[in-house]
Every structure is written in C-alpha cells, then in structure tokens.
Structure 1
Amino acid sequence: MDIFKLKQNNTTVKTELNAALTTFLAMLYIVPVNALILSDAGMPKDALLVATALITIIATIFNGLWANTPVALSTGMGLNAYFTYSMVIGMQIPWQTALGAIFISSAIFTILSFTNFRLWIIKNIPLDLRCAISAGIGAFICFIGLSQMGLIVASPATKVAIGNISDPKVLVGVIGIIFMILFWTLKLRGGFVLAIAVTSIGAWIFGIYETPKEIISIPVSIAPIFGELDILSALKISLLPAVLTLFVTHLFDSIGTLTGVGNRANLFTHADGEKKLAKNLESDAIASMGGAVIGTSTITAFAESASGVEAGGRTGLTAVFIGIFFIFTLFFLPLFGSIPANAIYPVLVMVGILMFSELGKINYKDPAICVSTFLTVILMPLTYSITIGLSVGFISYFIIKLALRKWEDLNLGVITLAIISLFAFIASSAPNLFKSIIGG
C-alpha cells in the first residue's frame, strides 16, 4: 500500500475502507438520479443506469491512483440538469450533439489542466462570483425538481403555480422532500439514500407506483449510448455558448468542490498540495471525455467526498474502495430502475438547498457583488438557462466595477470572462445577431 503513502498521511487500510463506505452511501443516489435526469433527454434509462455506475467506477478509481486523494468522481449534479433541460430540451439539441459538446469542453479543460490556467483562474476570479454561480445552479435544479414532481406547474395567469397536492404521486414527492430534509438535519449517514428508500417503499406499499419485479440481474448493454456522441455537429458556432457554459461551470464546480473538500483535511496545503490539486483537476477533465464517449454528462469531483474525509479518508485508497463498492450497483439495476421518479426528484431539491447556502459566504456590501449575485441566482431558474444567469452575472459585475473605477478589481481574468459572457449572452438570447457579429 506504499503507493498511497498511508503512514505518511497518518491513516490505515481500515480507516480508508470505512471512509469509502461512508462516501459510497452518501453518493449512491447518483446512479438512479442521473439516469432519470438524462432519460428526460430521450436517452434509454436502463443503459444510463449502467453507464452512470460504470463511469463512476472508472473515474473514481483512476483519480485514486492518479491523484492519491480520497475524492470520488461521478456525473455532476447541475451539469446533468444543464445537459437535459437547457441543451437538449431548451436549445432543442439532439442528445448525441450535446454529448459532443461535453467532449469538446472536456478536451479544452483537459488541455488547460496541464497548464497554469487553473491556478490563474483560482487567483483572479472573485470567490463571491463562484459562490453566486453555485447558488444559482442550486436554485435552477431545485426548480427543476419541484416542477418535475408536479409540485410547481405552469399557469397562464401567474406563469407558475402550486401543483395538485391531492395527487398521490405529487404527495409522494412532498413526503420525499420532508424525509430528505429531516434525515439531512439529523446528519444520518447515507441520508439521501435512506430518504429515497423510505419514500419508495411507502409508494410501493400503497400501490401508487408499481413494485419492482426483480432486484438483481446481469447489467444491460450500454450500446444504445456508447460512442454515440456527435462531435462534428457540436462544432457549430451556434453551440459555442453551450460549450463555454459547460467549460466554465465544470471549472468552477471542480475548483469549488476540491477546495471545500480539501480544506476539511488540509489535502492541498502540504508541500505536494498544489500537485495533488492539479492531478485531481486532470482526473475529472479526462474522466469527462471518457464519460461523453460512454454516454453520460460531465464528470466532476463529488462534494459528498467530504463525508468520507470526515470519517478519516486521506489517500487515494479511499477512492479505489469507493469505485469497488460501486461495482456492486451494476447488479442491482432492476431495483434502481423501478424507484419512483417522485422519490428521486427530492434529491434535486435538497442538493439545490445545499448549493444555495453558498450565498452566506458572499460580501453584499460590495455593490457589484450584490447586483451580480442577485441577477445570477434569479435568472438561472427564471430563464431556464445557466448560460444566461452566468453571463449576465459577469457582465453586470464588470460594468459596475468599471463605473465605480475599481481598477484593482478588473484583472485580466474578470475582463476575459466578461467578454466571453457577452458573447454567450448574445448567442443565447439573440442567435441571429451573434452569427452576424462573427460572420457565421
């Protein structure tokens, strides 16, 4: 086990195994949740269940061996929602083309991960803006969860309204949210999974949803989605905003998660800390390219890794054990596939709540931060577009800082992102104008 430097990191095989089990239980929900979200894009759910488990296994073990950190990788929440609800449904892009866009953005991220660009971004982009983006995505996926379970519905008079809670299936979603919040508040290990299980069993017992006919089976083929990405179609100028949004969101999500998890165990503060951080970013960038080939949305570091770190995980052996645990999920796919949708969507609401809490770290006394934060957070769910919220946030921040002549805050990183955001905003809200500007 010297490859993981257990003694140097003051840990043992037993401690790493326990930490891995903790993280595994905390993030097990991603298999059914990701499959459900991506299936809304028209992709086959059974193949998605296998693909999600498979890429989690490969990416997490790879990261453990490559970066030697206790960080698990899987399909990112928020990024999978952007794939389905913004790109495929909102922009009416075929899912094959959307996978191509993920591959392109991940390839760019991979190349830049082997340069100093990532550190340049960390140093130049205000932490407040990164927190605002996280909160905005949280509001967006919470809105998706509430609307998909029928708790929020469209209304010709008020645009949105409360759904019919007397509907048994909607009621299942409401109960699921209650259990999700309750178990999280009580800090129960594997609380998300436990809430899904309790809600599902109740729905099956009362006959609201059909009970699973089998629990264990041989994994189905991922052939319907494997290698189906369309890179050439994703190279169109009109898809540049989507590629940029995927790239920027992936970058911030990775940096934010790794920074948060790392701070809990001082993973990146030692002499080799910067090297470990770099290798972690390389891992999820490479894994995202592989995920697009296998047939899943963007892969990123999972915040739930913090639970394993709290349990004592300090090295890549924890990640390797997590990957091994996920192998067992491949044989329980009939059970995952039969879980009621409204027992799963509450996860989006809870994850949205956790991401929204990032607003507590923001300095609202700064006018530019105050305005850009509000616009970023409110526009993502209202426009059903992460791109719009992201771009308007950066543009407003730049304009206000410029008006206040706060030259010290207008570094090259902020100026670069403001320019990119302007093009992304024009391309998303006025595609014909964007094409005329670039001559496309």
Structure 2
Amino acid sequence: MSEFSSQSQKRSFLDRYFQLSEHKTNVKTEIIASFTTFITMVYIVFVNPKILGDAGMDSQAVFVTTALITAIACILMGAVAKLPIALAPGMGINAYFAYVLVGSMKMTWETGMTLIFLGASCLFLLSLFKIRYWMVANIPFSLRVGISSGCGLLITLIGLHNAHIIVADPDTMVRLGDPKSLSFILGSLSFLIVAVLAQKGKHASVLISFIVVTLIAWGLDDSVVFHGLVSMPPDITPVVGHLDFEKVFNFSMIGIVISVMLINLFESSGTFIAVTDKAGLADKDGRYPNQQKSLYIDSASSAAGAFMGTSAVTAYVESASGVAVGGRSGLMAVGVGLLFLLMIFFSPLEKMIPLYATTGALIYIGVLMASDLAKIKWEDLTEAVPSFVATVAMPFTFTITEGIALGFITYVVMKACTGRYKDLTICTVVMALLFLARYIFL
C-alpha cells in the first residue's frame, strides 16, 4: 500500500488530474496532439470573420471573438469534461446566418444572430433536461444524413460563389464564371491544394492552402495588403452582446430556430461519438466519460458564441487528428484552447487574406459533409427520397430551413402512404407537423 502511495505522489498534477497514465498517454503526447488539432482547425479564425463580415459585422472584432470563444470552449471541455474534443464556431450555421438570414431574408445581423442564440439556447435546454440524445435516436438516420449533406452543398455553393467560379445568370439561374479571372483561378487552386494534401494525410492542408493562395494573391492582387503580423486585439464591443429580440418572437421564426438547433444537435452529437470512439473512450452504445458535462459545455458555449457575435459553437471533427497522434485526455483540448487564445494577437493577418482564399476550405467541408450519402439505402425510396429532398432543397432554395422542413414532411408522407407507420417516431411526426403548419399559416 505504501509503495502504491509513493508512486501516486511521484505523478505530476497534470498526470493525476487528466488521468494520463490511465489513458496510456503523457504530457508530451498531449501537447503534440494539441498542436496537430490546432493546425487542422485554425482556419476557422480566418474563415468565420470573412463570412460574418459579408453580413456587415466588424470582421476584425469577429476574428478576436472567434478565437476567444474557441479558447474558452476548448479549455472548459478539457478541464471540466476532460475529453480530447475541441470546439469552435460551426461551419454551416455561420454561412446560413450571413447569406440567408441577413443576405437573402434581409434581416439585420443583430436579429439574425439573435435567432442563432435562441436555437443554441434550445439545444442547451435539450441537454439540461436530458432529451438531447433521445431526439438524435428518434430522428431517422436518412434525414440526419440528408440535412448534413444539404448543409455541405450549401457551403460549397457559397465557396464557389465567393471565388466567382459560379455566378448568377438571368437565363440559366447560374453559370460558370470567367476562368481567366484571378479569383476563379486562385479559388480553384485553393481547393485543389486542400484536396491533394488531405489525401496525402497532411493535417495542415487548409492552413497551407490559405498561406499559398494569400502569398500568390499578395503579388498579383492590389487589394491584398500586408498589415503586419501581430498587434493588440481590436475592440470587440461592435459585435458582443448585440442581440435584438424585437422581431424574433413570431411564428415565422420557429422554423429558423428549430433548424439551428437541429444542425448543432446532429453535428455535435455525431462528433462526440466519433472522436471518443476513436480515442477508445466510448462503449458499444456510444456512452463515454462525463457525457452530460460535455453536452452542457457544448450547448452553453454555442449560446455564448452567438452572444459574442461569432455564431453557434460546435464540436469539431478535426479533434480526431489529435486523437490519431495519441491525444486521449482533456489536456489536449486545454492545449488547443491556449493556442487559440494566442491567436487574438494575430488579427492583422485576417485583413490580408482574400475572400477567395477561403474557397478551398468551404468546398472541402462540403465534400466531408456529403460523404455520408453513401450510407443511405437507395433501394428503399421511403428513406432515399426524403434524404435526397433535404439534400438538394438546401442549395436550390439557398436556405437550410426549407431543406429540413421538406425533408421531414416528405419522410412522414412517404412512410404513411406506403403503410410503414412503424418507422415513424413521435419526434419525426411532430417536427413534420410544425413545419407543415409553418407553410400553411404563413
């Protein structure tokens, strides 16, 4: 007994707190995993300000708040839930906010961000009352895939548009842009760099793409100017706490709030299960240590992110890159958070990166999000048709809400009209009825 006590005392605080020995890892391995994960997801501090800047927000302030909420969420996930999972503002929701709510629906960015905040707050309530995973289990897999894939196609469309690879046309709605234009060429190059390097297993593929395309643009594009490397963080008051509840409490907004909640629900839940399973922390039923704490942190960070003006926060599947190099504990997530905290001093770089340099990241995310379509049972039309409808409706209507609504309604109709009532769950039927009522009474 005394020998065991002596060995326990020799263990460092980090070893004991994060149970490094139990997880068969060490501080050095966790630090390497932190850097690996950081490199794979640092693109968000450059992409998010560009997207939200298109909605009229102060991109420099968004750069800082993006880094801040990412740091806070990661440190909490690592220190409290003790899981090797990093969080950051989610791709998809930010594009939906900027280009649909603000761009297409003509909301003010304050109103749009309030809807994101309400959706994230609903997710927190689902976590608080322990019905979050019940919803995931009761929403059909085909719809989850269709919604995720549709978000991916919408993000891809936005990426193509940002580089003018796809442009509007009054006769054919869309057409190919000018292949000789600088934005077309460098936007295409950014995607090819990401795709090739990702195939070769390079974790920093997106970051490398940013660097290469920006350096080329610096020599060819007069609008790309070097503003310095580091500086004190810009003022964040132009974007923090600017929520406007005046126009959000009406029936027409319910679909948007539900859409935000569902996207966060599917993205985070899937990532938690995938990463903890890869780390050997999950059991066969998908349960993992400190599960409820992780859900509280995830959903509370999501609402906090919207309040801070960075869109909703979600768990990042890029965490798997850190796990792949040995990360097994919350120390990895804490390390990622500290690295993002340092990023608040690199805001001058955000002003230098051109919008088309983000094209590669956006299209690549679309590829990843659409990959699960291969898992759909295409021979069963009651599953395939709703998934397909949800997938194509998002980019074609240019809104996530309509894709989710049409997907749910189609699923219930297909199952009911073919006598497959047993496949319907209360959750799915209620969602379909809510979205149907939205169409009828608006």
Whether the TM-score (by the shorter chain) exceeds 0.5 is: yes
Tell me the amino acid that sits aligned with residue 401 of structure 1.
Answer: K
Within 2, Cα distance between the matches of 1:35 and 1:421? 32
Aligned twin of 1:192? 206
Offset at 1:205?
Answer: 2.5
* Alignment pair present for 1:407 and 2:414: no
Aligned twin of 1:254? 268
Q: How does 1:65-76 map to 2 (within 5 A)?
A: 65-76=79-90
Aligned twin of 1:342? 356
Tell me the amino acid that sits aligned with residue 246 of structure 1.
Answer: V
Local SS of the residue matching 1:234: coil
Q: Residue 224 of structure 2 contacts residue 353 of structure 2 at CA under 8 Å; is this kept in 1?
A: no
Which of 121, 127, 130 aligns to 1:113? It is 127
Offset at 1:275?
Answer: 5.2
Offset at 1:336?
Answer: 2.3
Offset at 1:286?
Answer: 0.3
User: Which has the larger displacement, 258-267 or 338-347?
Assistant: 258-267
* Alignment pair present for 1:363 and 2:377: yes
Moved over 4 A (4+): none
Offset at 1:309?
Answer: 1.2
Which of 133, 152, 164 aligns to 1:150? It is 164
Which of 141, 144, 147 aligns to 2:155? It is 141
Within 1, Cα distance between the matches of 2:106 and 2:63? 23
* Alignment pair present for 1:98 and 2:105: no
* Alignment pair present for 1:395 and 2:402: no
Aligned twin of 1:434? 441
Q: Residue 26 of structure 1 contacts residue 304 of structure 1 at CA under 8 Å; is this kept in 2?
A: yes
Offset at 1:177?
Answer: 1.5
Offset at 1:39?
Answer: 0.6
Tell me the amino acid that sits aligned with residue 414 of structure 2.
Answer: I
TM-score, normalising length from structure 1?
0.93
Within 1, Cα distance between the matches of 2:244 and 2:328? 39
Local SS of the residue matching 2:247: helix
Local SS of the residue matching 2:290: helix
Aligned twin of 1:429? none
Offset at 1:248?
Answer: 1.3
1:405-440 residue CA offsets vs partner (Å, 9 max, x unmatched): 11221121221222233235x1xxxxxx525xxxxx
Aligned twin of 1:84? 98
User: Which has the larger displacement, 147-156 or 90-99?
Assistant: 90-99
Which of 139, 143, 153 aligns to 1:129? It is 143
Local SS of the residue matching 1:74: strand
Aligned twin of 1:11? 25
Aligned twin of 2:431? 417
Offset at 1:231?
Answer: 2.9
* Alignment pair present for 1:287 and 2:298: no
Tell me the amino acid that sits aligned with residue 431 of structure 2.
Answer: L
Tell me the amino acid that sits aligned with residue 42 of structure 2.
Answer: L
Within 2, Cα distance between the matches of 1:101 and 1:409? 32
Local SS of the residue matching 1:104: helix
1:12-64 residue CA offsets vs partner (Å, 9 max, x unmatched): 11111111111000001000100000111110111111111111111111111
Q: Residue 176 of structure 1 contacts residue 195 of structure 1 at CA under 8 Å; is this kept in 2?
A: yes
Within 1, Cα distance between the matches of 2:441 and 2:101? 18
Within 2, Cα distance between the matches of 1:423 and 1:198? 49
Offset at 1:283?
Answer: 1.1
Offset at 1:145?
Answer: 0.6
* Alignment pair present for 1:55 and 2:62: no
Give the 3 Å change call, closer, same or farther, for CA 77–213 of structure 1 in structure 2: same
Within 1, Cα distance between the matches of 2:398 and 2:184? 22
Tell me the amino acid that sits aligned with residue 21 of structure 1.
Answer: F
Aligned twin of 2:192? 178
Give the 3 Å change call, closer, same or farther, for CA 366–329 of structure 1 in structure 2: same
Identity of aligned residues (%): 37
Within 2, Cα distance between the matches of 1:287 and 1:198? 33
Local SS of the residue matching 1:402: helix
What number of residue pairs does the alignment pair up?
428
TM-score, normalising length from structure 2?
0.93
Q: Residue 97 of structure 1 contacts residue 234 of structure 1 at CA under 8 Å; is this kept in 2?
A: yes
1:281-313 residue CA offsets vs partner (Å, 9 max, x unmatched): 211210012112211101100111111111111
Local SS of the residue matching 2:179: coil
> What runs of 5+ residues in structure 1 fail to find an aligned partner?
427-432, 436-440
Q: Residue 64 of structure 2 contacts residue 233 of structure 2 at CA under 8 Å; is this kept in 1?
A: yes
Tell me the amino acid that sits aligned with residue 372 of structure 2.
Answer: E
1:49-106 residue CA offsets vs partner (Å, 9 max, x unmatched): 1111111111111111221111111100011111111111122111111121122222
> What runs of 5+ residues in structure 2 fail to find an aligned partner?
1-13
Within 1, Cα distance between the matches of 2:67 and 2:441? 39
Aligned twin of 1:316? 330
Output the aligned Cα RMSD.
1.7
Local SS of the residue matching 1:405: coil
Tell me the amino acid that sits aligned with residue 435 of structure 2.
Answer: S
1:256-293 residue CA offsets vs partner (Å, 9 max, x unmatched): 22222223223332899355333222112100121122
1:211-245 residue CA offsets vs partner (Å, 9 max, x unmatched): 31311111101010111111343223322211111
1:131-159 residue CA offsets vs partner (Å, 9 max, x unmatched): 11111110110011101210000111111
Within 2, Cα distance between the matches of 1:70 and 1:188? 20
Offset at 1:208?
Answer: 5.2
